[in-house]
Amino acid sequence: MADRRVSTRFRPVLGAVAWSLLLAACAPDAGPSPVGPSVSTPSPAVSSVPSSSGPFDAHFTEIGSANIVLSSCIGRFNGAESEWCPGTALADLVGDVTTTVRRDVAARPDPSRFADVSAAIAGLDESAAAVRQPCDDLPARKLQCLAAFNTMMDDWYAFTAATGYR
């Protein structure tokens, strides 16, 4: 069987990644990427924003855009190392999203009501920080990068679930 570099729990995402990458490749160039030159910026038309009415709906476009970039990294981590997503860019992308949502939680009248979101943010920030060094130091720390990325993605899914993003 082929060498599996990314856990099979991401397999359902890979079909969506293929469509996202295809749509992003066909979209007009939106300028420089927020996560570095090796990751293409998804067009707003590619972002899927769930239609619900929850307390964090205002962040769904930002979360959806980051989700597409992170999903494309799953496919990239299965490819050539030269195409892998840089750790600092991944951590910065995730940090931008969590900072925005953290501020929103803090500004609410009863932030303790959103303890699950705050806990998810704390876990995600920690795992995103752990991605920086090993994924910037490739190929020397390839296995550490993959392990850190898988942990970060688990925390990303916990974060998106806590915010109501599906």
Q: Rounded to an integer, what distance in angstroms lies between the CA atom of residue 79 and that of residue 98?
A: 28
* pLDDT computed for residue 1 by the predictor: 46
Asked if 77 and 146 count as a contact pair (C-beta separation under 8 A), the reply is yes
Residue ranges per structural domain of the chain: 12-29+56-163
Q: Rounded to an integer, what distance in angstroms lies between the CA atom of residue 112 and that of residue 61?
A: 24
Whether the predicted pLDDT of 85 surpasses 60: yes
DSSP 28: P
CATH class of 12-29+56-163: mainly alpha
Mean pLDDT of the chain: 75
Q: How many CB atoms lie within 10 A of CB 47?
A: 17
